Chains A and B, each alone.
Chain A
Amino acid sequence: MIAVALKGLLGRKTRAILTALAIVLGTGMVSATLIFTDTLHRAFSGVFSAPYEQASVVVSGKQIVTGAANTPSVPASLVARIKKVPGVEAASGGFLFTTVKLVRANDKAIGKGGPQFGFGVDPADKRFTPLALTTGRWPSGPGEIAIGAVTAAKEHFAVGDTIGAKGTGHVHHYTITGLAEIPGVSSGSATLAAFDVRTAQVLLDKQGRYDSIAVVGSPDVTPRALAARIRPLLSEAETVRTSAAEAASVNKSVTGGISGFKYILLAFAGIALFVGAFVIFNTISMTVAQRTRELATLRTLGASRRQVLRSVLLESAVIGALASLFGLVLGLGLFKALETLFTGLPQAGTVFSAQTVVVTIVLGTGITLLAGLFPALRATRVPPIAAVREGAELPVGRFHRYKPYVAGAVIAVAVFAIAAGVLSGGGAKSVLVPAAGGMLLLFIGVAMISSSLVAPLIRVVGAPARRLGGSMGRLASANSGRNPARTAATAAALMIGLALVTFVAVLASGLESSTKGDLTRQVKSDYIVVPDTSTSATYFDAATGPALASVRGITSVSAVRSDNARVLGSTISVNGIDGATIAGAYRFAWKDGSDAVLTDLGNGAIVDSKWAKTRKLSVGSPFQVQASNGTKRTFVVRATYHPKFQAVFGGILVDRSHFDRMFPNPQNGYVFVNVASGASPAATAALAKSLRPFSDVTVQSTPGWIKTQLNDIQTTLDVFYAFLALSVIVSLFGMVNTLVLSVFERTREIGMLRAVGVSRRQLRRMIRHESIITALIGAALALPLGIFLAAILTRAMSSQGLSFHLPLTQLVYFAWVAVVAGVWAAVLPARRAARLNVLQALQYE
């Protein structure tokens, strides 16, 4: 029996390959994701854990606030005290992976989007730097720097040249004394800048401080024991960890980002696999139906139901396993594509782990088996007597008559799960898991009822074919309705991809219109100064404010400070506003308060009303704010406001002078500028000129800035479309499959059509129309479903100000994409049908 199944598969190679293709893309994406993230993981952990290999323990500043403008540091004087601890052989302070931007001669920052790493190296002890010199010598004095060899080659810098570098303040200029690299890792578009530690302190405005102190213990002291000896020396803002723990914690914070990224990619892979499962279900169902006679014969020869089940499942398993293997190979290719797509990330040798192989194969085979289970169960219901009957049809399952009820129940559960998810108001996990599960269920439910929607839908979407396609169009329309279950399943596969595309498009459309409306409403100024898009920074030099104020024609400049702080146990963004000028630049949507509070804010704070509500704060409530260096200060809620969906500021606004007093090294988040005659090219040029020394900021007219924000949304959207396109392609294979199989089934009929005078061209047209009708059914199911899902989500988020907006042109475009998909899918099957020999086709049995 095993041989029968395998040989049967060999006898239907084309079909098997077409079926396998449905799952190859999905498994390919799974393996590409795993390879990519594993490789990234190695590259990052290689980069960040290298410095800790030489040390026994590491002393560093305690991180109170994440994403703050200043990284925690430790006083330099600590080094001398640590050196006195018994068991300490060496201690060395420095800066590792801090942010230093390299600047070209034209004041533009080098390195687009990549990390910009800076290192302060102890000239007496270079053990703890991850860098290795490739050319020249280490920098050893105020005016000297070593930069990354890759950057030097790319930007045409050589030893002896002058280059600009920038910490938190102005650009400083240095002479390049050497080129360095992180051994074993290609740093991608990351830039490297190394200084002697004193020079780094000046540049980073951390005189007398280090980021961390690496300590080497004598061999007879364990790192744990050493840490215990050092701990009493530290203040509560400092911490000591064994180097292993430090490396692990650094790795964890880095890989946390990677795993988030991994799950997003895997989600898209999952969608492609889900669509693939539909296609496989449909193809195997058709194959089983066409083999009714064969299966019945096996039964008359004594095959048990279980044997039939096993033989069909074995076919699925083989197809799944083969597809997974191809998926692994494809995954390597896709991995290369991902690498080029995300250039700039550090790279290491490709990591092709056993786990990747196992996960890909288990997933690919498992899903194929699952999809093949229902057709296999139906195959067991083929009665032996079908062996002697003409044109036997596959019997319907035992529970077939309950199908509409089951479908109804599935849809009900699905909608409930989605609603429960989006309304849960909990974290990402409590929203996403039920919502995503609900969506999958919804697709299954709609696919189940779709066979009864096929007939009415054909009446609508088949109209153009009937009107314009002549007799072939009418035949095609009728053919599409012949086997509603099959047409429905084929269309459903396309539906999933298109529905998700529609969902994303509608959601994004709402997001864009909300963003545009909200930002336009909030920002009143003519210009806005923000960090340059080429840097990943969120803060910039506070000196930009005064620099702008001196430009001619300016009526007001309002700089807004920005930093993260710890408030009531969690990290939140805090802004420092200038009460005298902010009202001219920003329109507050007051809930409880008015512009009057701005001018004498004192120790008061303006807070987001939503945030205040969840924290049970109201006007008059005091609350404590803790900065990244540990400084604490109490503010009192003076007013509340709510800027709808897209907020410009964080949750808490305080007076700028108070901000500057408590936050270390205060930085700007925005500078709003009004000019006398409104925005003009001349004014823009003048403002840009005054900002040149700051190199990493950009000035934009307010409408221009809003456009940039919208472009960012569009960019994300395009990535989503690209990944969802994979699912649409998978469903395309499904359409090809269905058409090829139905042409095969109708061989005799096609021969008859040709015999009565239908031309090859007409035959091709008929198949093409059938394909387009199926695709349009998919679109007709997908668009409302996608809009519905987007509407639910928008509704749930409407309290946060997200509005619902239908992108009509795009929706029409999606329907058009479906038609194109239909035309493409028909090419191969139509050619096959047209090539059939009339005589042989007529004799075909």
Chain B
Amino acid sequence: MSLLEAPVRVRTAHAVVAASGLTRQYGEGDTTVHALRNVSIEIEEARLTAIMGPSGSGKSTLMHILAGLDAPTEGSVTIDGVEITGMNDKQLTRLRREHIGFVFQFFNLLPMLTAEENILLPLSIAGEKPEREWVEELLETVGIADRSTHRPSQLSGGQQQRVSIARALISKPSVLFADEPTGNLDSTTSKDVLALLRHSVEELGQTTVMVTHDASAAALADRILFLADGQIVKEVRGSTAAEVLAAMQEVSGR
């Protein structure tokens, strides 16, 4: 099975992830921090959605809640039409196995496993057998086929992040969440990594949510949501980096 023959999803604006009325507070009384205030969004299928905003805007909190890592104080989230707020640990574990992929800022690869073993880890956790061709294709796509037996410490930052993306893609999740995927990379390798994410959206129809504060990263997104003070303040589609930067400044300066 080649990449192009991978299950092509119908490109409609169907919402893979939907959130409504999300509120998240930390602490109580005078020290209450309102990380999110009544946020409602829908993440469209087979699109790259970027969430941007200055530090403390609540963008990370939003992603954590969308991904089921954190629970909202109020509001609800559905993934593939299934309500995830209030799920117990067992259900959340199933959800992560079948519907969610993660890419982290610090890669979070397991140092004792080789690149390939890291990529296959989600399958092995779920007790599934990898399809050999799919694995080969994935290694090829992320460009580390020749380094599949290397350990993370023998790989560059960009290579590590590509392994991490492959790991997120291996189980063909409904949605891939990337948390500042270029936050720990230089600009050249950032480009490679972003190109890979873009490629997976284009070619695999992989629904992706990316939190970033890098304008050039966000510029690759189909849709950019701007957060400030825990609220969505702006939404842009198909922008250039310059436009994104301008929008960021507008948002930050508010």
Contacts and interface: CB of A to CB of B under 8 A. Distances in A.
Nearest to B179: A388
Contacts of A302: 93-94, 96-98, 122, 125-126, 171
Contact of B121 (A8, A301, A385): A301
B223 interface: no
Contact of A297 (B90, B94, B110): B110
Interface residues of B, number: 31
A10 interface: yes
B1 interface: no
A112 B124 CA distance: 67
B110 A845 contact: no
Contact of B104 (A7, A297, A299, A305): A297
Interface in B67-119: 69-70, 89-90, 92-94, 96-98, 100, 102, 104-106, 108, 110-113, 117
B161 interface: no
A238 interface: no
B64 interface: yes
B106 to A, nearest CB: 7
Interface string A379-390: 000011101100
Given A387-B102, A388-B60, A388-B69, A7 B121 contact: no
A301 B97 CA distance: 6
B162 interface: no
Nearest to B69: A385
Contacts of A383: 69
B113 A297 contact: no
Nearest to A293: B108
Interface string A807-845: 000000000000000000000000000000000000001
A387 B108 contact: yes
Interface in A4-21: 4, 7-8, 10-11
B124 A388 contact: no
A265 interface: no
Interface in A262-317: 293-294, 297-305, 307
Contacts of B122: 301-302
Nearest to B68: A384
Contacts of B105: 388
B108 A1 contact: no
A305 B89 contact: yes
A3 interface: yes
A388 B90 contact: no
B167 A11 contact: no
Contact of A7 (B96, B113, B179): B113
A387 B110 CA distance: 12
Contact of A294 (B60, B70, B90, B110): B110
Contacts of B167: 301
A388 B125 CA distance: 20
Secondary structure of the A contact surface, majority rule: helix
A1 B60 contact: no
B60 A4 contact: no
A337 B43 CA distance: 72
A11 B93 contact: no
Contacts of A4: 110, 112-113, 121, 124
Contacts of A1: 124-125
Place the interface of chain A in its size category.
20 to 34
B85 to A, nearest CB: 15
Contacts of A10: 112
A845 B108 CA distance: 12
Given A11-B111, A302-B96, A845-B106, A385 B125 contact: no
Contact of B93 (A7, A304, A385): A304
Nearest to B96: A302
Nearest to B90: A304
Contacts of A301: 96, 102, 121-122, 125, 167
Contacts of B97: 302
B119 to A, nearest CB: 11
B112 A384 contact: no
A305 B94 CA distance: 12
Contact of B96 (A11, A293, A300, A388): A300
B110 A303 contact: no
A4 B122 CA distance: 11
A385 B96 contact: no
B117 A3 contact: yes
Nearest to B126: A302
B151 to A, nearest CB: 9
A388 B60 CA distance: 10
A293 B104 CA distance: 11
Given A4-B121, A388-B60, A11 B106 contact: no
B125 A303 contact: yes
Contacts of B117: 3, 7
B64 A385 contact: yes
Given A385-B64, A388-B179, A303 B108 contact: no
B180 to A, nearest CB: 9
Contacts of A300: 69, 96, 100, 102, 108
Contact of B69 (A293, A294, A384): A384
Contacts of B171: 302
A132 B111 CA distance: 68
Nearest to A302: B97
A528 to B, nearest CB: 71
A4 B121 CA distance: 9
B72 to A, nearest CB: 13
A10 B111 CA distance: 11
Interface string B124-145: 1110000000000000000000
Contacts of A307: 125
A301 B90 CA distance: 13
A433 B60 CA distance: 58
B23 to A, nearest CB: 18
The interface centre, meaning the residue of B64, B69, B167 with most chain A CB atoms within 10 A of its CB, is B69
Interface string A500-532: 000000000000000000000000000000000
Contacts of A384: 69, 92, 96
B224 to A, nearest CB: 21
Contacts of B98: 302
B121 to A, nearest CB: 6
Interface in A296-352: 297-305, 307
Interface in A204-262: none
Interface string A698-717: 00000000000000000000
Contacts of A388: 60, 64, 69, 104-105, 179
A744 to B, nearest CB: 14
A1 B171 CA distance: 16
Nearest to B168: A301
A7 to B, nearest CB: 4
Contacts of B90: 304
Interface in B167-217: 167, 171, 179
A741 B215 CA distance: 41
A96 B8 CA distance: 95
Contacts of A293: 108
Nearest to A300: B102
Residue among A300, A302, A303, A383 with the most chain B CB within 10 A?
Answer: A302
Given A4-B124, A297-B110, A298-B121, 19 more contacts: A4-B110, A4-B121, A7-B112, A293-B108, A294-B108, A300-B69, A300-B102, A301-B122, A302-B93, A302-B96, A302-B171, A303-B93, A383-B69, A387-B69, A387-B102, A388-B60, A388-B69, A388-B104, A845-B106
Interface of A: 1, 3-4, 7-8, 10-11, 293-294, 297-305, 307, 383-385, 387-388, 845
- Closest 7 pairs between A and B when the two form their complex, measured CB to CB: A302-B97, A11-B112, A385-B69, A7-B112, A297-B108, A302-B96, A304-B93
27 contacts: A1-B124, A4-B110, A4-B112, A7-B112, A8-B110, A11-B112, A294-B108, A297-B110, A298-B110, A298-B121, A298-B125, A299-B93, A300-B69, A300-B96, A300-B102, A301-B125, A301-B167, A304-B90, A383-B69, A384-B69, A385-B64, A385-B69, A387-B102, A387-B104, A388-B69, A388-B104, A388-B179
